[in-house]
Structure 1
Amino acid sequence: MFRRIALLLPFLSFLRSSTQALPTDDCPILGPSFPSNFDPSSTTVIRELQSRFPAQLESLLSSGVINRTHTSFSINVFSAVTNSSIFSYHHAAPGLNGSLTAGVLNDDTLYRIGSVSKLLSVYAILVKAGMEIFDHPVTRYLPELAGNAGSDPLERISWEEVTVGALASQLAGTGGMQFLTLMRTRKRPVVPPFETALYSDAGFGILGRVLERLTGLPYADAVQSILFAPLGLNGTSARQPRREGLNAVVLPGSFAESSWGFDNQITAPSGGLYSNTADLRTTGLSILHSALLPPRTTRAWLKPQSQTASLTTTIGAPWEINRLALPVSPSSPRTRISDLYTKLGGQTGYAAVFALSPDHALGFSVLVAGPRAGSARFPLRDAVGEAWVTAAEHAAAENAARNFAGTFVDPSVDGANLTLTVQRDRPGLGLEAWFVRGVDWRANLTYPAAALPVANLSVRLYPTGLVTLSPSSPSLNASAGAAQLSFRAIPLLLPPGPRAAVEGGQGLFDNGCQSWSSVDFWSVDGYGIDEFVFEVAGGRLESVRSLAAGTRMRRID
């Protein structure tokens, strides 16, 4: 019998619970639980957050966590479905009087973005040369760095062993900043290449020179021609913007108090750019939509390149990837893993956060100015990330309950029906029932099927990211038109196997989450039994096809 669980939406009660959070008993494949092809502002959870989140920011100011008087900041949260902001907030610090050159603080107001510049530098290199450049030795583009091979490994960096990708993902082993001309002869290595991720400004100074060799242009002109002009980033630059008509937060003082106007083009690729929330929104949308990169390159770029000593942080190129344990439904103690791709930045007087959540087609930026900008970025990042990424997870479940859950029947095949549900504490769509000619086909998803009582089986369906658009649909996010979405079924034998102690179980090893190794394991005539094709029109699931079973089941409720 079809069950549809109503989603309760108390504001932000899902963020912190007195109950200890534990992984869901289900073992999803890494990726979104539900489709994200809907306007998030059409959901109750996002609308409530839009109206109430300013009060949470106000509490950070009134409590002194963020210095109200001397810290200005701008926040923007955006959706790749609507290609627009879903939340924007600006706080102009009264104690920074005179810092606003246009007298206003808005999405066009420029800040310095510090090491978020690293992200744009890598983006430009990928647009110019593709993902394959990551495998090239840096000496291919900067032969003057060659010549240290065979030297004492404690004294010299063997640049022939350092790839462009190692520099981009903090794996070159170069450590902190030095002048470029000293990198070959005097820069001592910190660790061998590809040993471990260590943050390196110097490595991005070298990447800037790689971009110059690729384009034949100075760094500032290279990023302008490759990224800023094609994307229409009218405010972003590697040089101090002209004063005439300037809309910026310009902190006064020496370079020990403010980095505004400190334009060293050697270090610019690492941390020297100016930008605003409007341009960062455009940049984030271009990444999520693969506007300048092939989709396969975007997917490869949005992946970890190295680990850290933290169980919740991995390193990309140059992403700082936060592995979030998201509550799978409001107020739920059960969580699933979702990766948030971020880049932090900081310079004297300025700080920045840039973040993308591919699972939710969502992104956000936080720009900060003031004497305590560096420390203020963390509570602001945490507040925005916890609230909006969690809300996006629950909004997707709310949308799935409204537009994907239901009962489906194939009238051309006797006893062919399928029921999908959305349930509290459970990720993904529940395959509550699946009958073909009166036989329960859910047992066919496991081994050995004949020995398995159906009562001991739970099956969840997850989107794979494979999509076919109809000619009438310009994009999956279009409100009209049709699309076909691929889902895969993940069976779970009850009770589930034990998880590791760090996940609330026992011991060092996780024996209860191995779904990644069993997808597309069984097939009929070459069609995976676990594959389902969802036929969607106007954002609503209308029919479900199983190629293995030879059925097309149409919605009846």
Structure 2
Amino acid sequence: MLRPVGLFLALAASLANAVPTEDCPISGPAFSSNFDLCKTDAFQNAIVTMPKEIEALMAAGKISSNTTTFSVDVFSTVTNQSVYSYNYIAPSLNGTLSAGKLDDESIYRIGSVSKLFTAYALLNIAGIEIFDHSVTQYLPELAGNTGPGKIIWEDVTIGALASQQAGVGGMPPEVTTCFLEPEPECSIVDNASFLDFMRNQKRPVTKPWTTALYSDASWGILGRVIERLTGQDYESALYAALTKPLGLNSSTAIEPSSEGLNAVVIPSVDGAVSGWGLDNPISAPSGGIYSSNADLRKLGLSILNSELLSPATTRQWLKPRGNTGTLTTQFGAPWEINRLSIPVSPKSTRTRVSDLYTKLGGNPQYTAVFALSPGHGLGYSILLAGPTSSTDRIPLRDIVGTVFVTAAEHAAVENAGRNFAGTFVDESAQGSNLSLTIDAERPGLGMPALYLNGTESRSLLMGPGFSIPPANLSVRLYPTGIEWNAADLAERSNVAVGGADANATYMSYRAWPRTMPEELRAEVEEGEGLFDHCINAFTTDFYNFGGTGVDEFVLEVVGGKLVSVTSILGGLKMLRID
């Protein structure tokens, strides 16, 4: 049997013997991501390799070449546009293209990716504070239950519903049957009947906040909350909150008009049910939206760029809200968060954790994948149609994520090697200099030396009184995401950057010093015992003066090139000399 080749096979081989990096980096990006991915060899190699990887999956029978039509789109926040696309028309489905073509504006059904639209609309309408409110504040007709066999709705918050932790389970069978029959009869299509069922008949699966268990009914409830907040039906509220402000051209909660339609339309024939046209207003917020890759790209970029929500709200939204029984998956609202172990450098057997925020979706004969990698400013979507689309979405999710997230990581390594590594000197303070390096098998910027007034001073980053031989000390620098320009320097008066450049971007990096040899990792990370001894997240900014930590370094970047590094510890600005 043939197997995926090229980049994917090389990655698979390197990960087969991979172990976590000993550097214990903090959660988040290892390098700054504000550079054009497409100008790096790592990303260009991924673009060239991706079609071969897909063809290899088809040849190996991992995805169907005859019965699944699909569209892939990868996008970046730096260019705010697609950086890779791939469209494939299955021979048996050639007659399903309403416009006779397949491109990023072709409409599919997206199933439970609809939950992402609902959460985003809710946050744009009411703010993230609503996650802490009881659902009965907005749907008082759910209130009043008592006893172990009833859902106590007063205990259920909006956030519990959005993060799959309300314990309310699946939709009523009268809603579910809408998607099981070629000619469906939906006996619950009105809010009153749905809410009555959820209050009086639906039994709890767990108590709220017990564990994360997937729930479609939660999103039926959240759709009704949106309708109460806006005084509109779900489709109209979605248009006002997302479709109109983002300029989405094809995203609707009802079947789009056939006039001028560019879509993959699979009919229900010969007893085979298709999700196209099976619309129910109760389940629409959970899995009823139609969309295209062009719209999903706009949606993803708007999230990563905080176009509708504040940056603080976006950061809070893109965080885990619950764990699962595996170390590699967490739940958000409604994110399915995959904790990926990616090689820290090309061909490396050392890995670090990078969180990919995904949402999967499925209707009969339609499936979808949506993913965001905030640390890389990257996202992708995959839309599939056909009788084998349900089984084909996971191999496609995996191959696109493996190739492009890894490529983005290694593109950042490449960019940092070109533009950040070097030697920096303060000629006004004799014997004051530092070096920044890119090191194979290690994340972040290395700092092998920091001389302040002739004294090697890296051990002082751990606090006053520390004196560790340089050979027993490792220091890595990581970005914090805090950036500012020359006009903002007045607010950073405690940071001695001096001679501000109007064209520069100033980036805050933090140093994480570690004594050698490294502390033990947990057995699950190829170490010993149950417990992990990585403590970097506990030590940041522990020692500070003037309001900032001795471990902060301010990097001055002009035209993408690092031109100076300011050490808060020494109060010195060191200029690049190579």
Q: TM-score range by the shorter chain?
A: over 0.9
Question: Residue 457 of structure 1 aligns with which residue?
Answer: 473
Residues 15 and 386 in structure 1, CA contact (< 8 A), matched pair in contact too: no
Structure 2 residue 110 is the aligned partner of structure 1 residue 113: yes
Cα deviation for residue 415 of structure 1 reads 1.1
Structure 2 residue 553 is the aligned partner of structure 1 residue 544: no
Question: Which deviates the most, 119-128 or 63-72?
Answer: 63-72
Cα deviation for residue 522 of structure 1 reads 1.4
Question: Residue 165 of structure 1 aligns with which residue?
Answer: 159
TM-score by length of 2: 0.91
Aligned amino acid, residue 515 of structure 1: N
TM-score by length of 1: 0.94
SS of the equivalent of 1:492 reads: strand
Q: Which residue, out of 479, 483, 488, partners 2:510?
A: 488
Structure 2 residue 173 is the aligned partner of structure 1 residue 152: no
Structure 2 residue 291 is the aligned partner of structure 1 residue 294: no
SS of the equivalent of 2:337 reads: strand
Question: Residue 361 of structure 2 aligns with which residue?
Answer: 345
Residues 525 and 548 in structure 1, CA contact (< 8 A), matched pair in contact too: no
Residues 112 and 274 in structure 1, CA contact (< 8 A), matched pair in contact too: yes
Structure 2 residue 435 is the aligned partner of structure 1 residue 419: yes
- 1:382-397 to structure 2, matched below 5 A, reads 382-397=398-413
Structure 2 residue 504 is the aligned partner of structure 1 residue 507: no
SS of the equivalent of 2:276 reads: coil
Residues 142 and 195 in structure 2, CA contact (< 8 A), matched pair in contact too: no
Cα deviation for residue 330 of structure 1 reads 1.0
Consecutive unaligned residues in structure 2, runs of 5 or more: 1-5, 173-193, 489-501
Residues 257 and 371 in structure 1, CA contact (< 8 A), matched pair in contact too: no
User: How far apart, CA to CA, are the structure 1 residues paired with 2:487 and 2:461?
Assistant: 34
Residues 524 and 548 in structure 1, CA contact (< 8 A), matched pair in contact too: no
Question: Residue 543 of structure 2 aligns with which residue?
Answer: 522
Aligned amino acid, residue 264 of structure 1: N
Aligned amino acid, residue 202 of structure 2: K
Structure 2 residue 202 is the aligned partner of structure 1 residue 205: no
Distance 1:411 1:105, change over 3 A: same
User: How far apart, CA to CA, are the structure 2 residues paired with 1:547 and 1:460?
Assistant: 16
Question: Residue 140 of structure 2 aligns with which residue?
Answer: 143
Cα deviation for residue 27 of structure 1 reads 1.2
* Cα deviations by residue, 1:237-273 (Å, 9 ceiling, x for unpaired): 1110000000000001158520100110110000000
User: How far apart, CA to CA, are the structure 1 residues paired with 2:380 and 2:285?
Assistant: 22
Question: Residue 68 of structure 1 aligns with which residue?
Answer: 65
Cα deviation for residue 446 of structure 1 reads 2.3
User: How far apart, CA to CA, are the structure 2 residues paired with 1:447 and 1:62?
Assistant: 58
Cα deviation for residue 450 of structure 1 reads 4.2
- 1:431-442 to structure 2, matched below 5 A, reads 431-442=447-458
SS of the equivalent of 1:418 reads: strand
Question: Residue 174 of structure 1 aligns with which residue?
Answer: 168
Cα deviation for residue 451 of structure 1 reads 4.1
Q: Which residue, out of 77, 82, 85, partners 2:82?
A: 85
* Cα deviations by residue, 1:117-170 (Å, 9 ceiling, x for unpaired): 00110000001111100000000000010011xx222x1000000000000000
* Cα deviations by residue, 1:377-396 (Å, 9 ceiling, x for unpaired): 00000000111001110000
- 1:45-64 to structure 2, matched below 5 A, reads 45-64=42-61
* Cα deviations by residue, 1:65-124 (Å, 9 ceiling, x for unpaired): 111111000000110111111110000011013100000010000000000000110000
Question: Residue 323 of structure 1 aligns with which residue?
Answer: 339
Higher share of residues assigned helix: 2
Consecutive unaligned residues in structure 1, runs of 5 or more: 1-9, 473-479
Aligned amino acid, residue 405 of structure 1: A
User: How far apart, CA to CA, are the structure 2 residues paired with 1:496 and 1:89?
Assistant: 44
Cα deviation for residue 449 of structure 1 reads 4.5
Structure 2 residue 294 is the aligned partner of structure 1 residue 278: yes
Question: Residue 276 of structure 2 aligns with which residue?
Answer: 260
Q: Which residue, out of 549, 556, 572, partners 1:535?
A: 556
Residues 460 and 467 in structure 2, CA contact (< 8 A), matched pair in contact too: no
Residues 522 and 528 in structure 2, CA contact (< 8 A), matched pair in contact too: yes
Structure 2 residue 214 is the aligned partner of structure 1 residue 220: no
Question: Residue 358 of structure 1 aligns with which residue?
Answer: 374
SS of the equivalent of 2:200 reads: coil
Question: Residue 3 of structure 1 aligns with which residue?
Answer: none
- CA-based RMSD: 1.5
Distance 1:247 1:84, change over 3 A: same
SS of the equivalent of 1:16 reads: helix
Question: Residue 404 of structure 1 aligns with which residue?
Answer: 420
Question: Residue 307 of structure 1 aligns with which residue?
Answer: 323
Cα deviation for residue 481 of structure 1 reads 3.3
Residues 15 and 343 in structure 2, CA contact (< 8 A), matched pair in contact too: no
SS of the equivalent of 1:123 reads: helix
Cα deviation for residue 411 of structure 1 reads 1.6
* Cα deviations by residue, 1:352-377 (Å, 9 ceiling, x for unpaired): 00000011000000100000111110
User: How far apart, CA to CA, are the structure 1 residues paired with 2:158 and 2:369?
Assistant: 24
Cα deviation for residue 331 of structure 1 reads 1.2
SS of the equivalent of 1:483 reads: strand
Residues 481 and 507 in structure 2, CA contact (< 8 A), matched pair in contact too: yes
Aligned amino acid, residue 321 of structure 1: I
Give the length in aligned residue pairs: 537
Question: Residue 477 of structure 1 aligns with which residue?
Answer: none
Question: Residue 556 of structure 1 aligns with which residue?
Answer: 577
User: How far apart, CA to CA, are the structure 2 residues paired with 1:464 and 1:73?
Assistant: 37
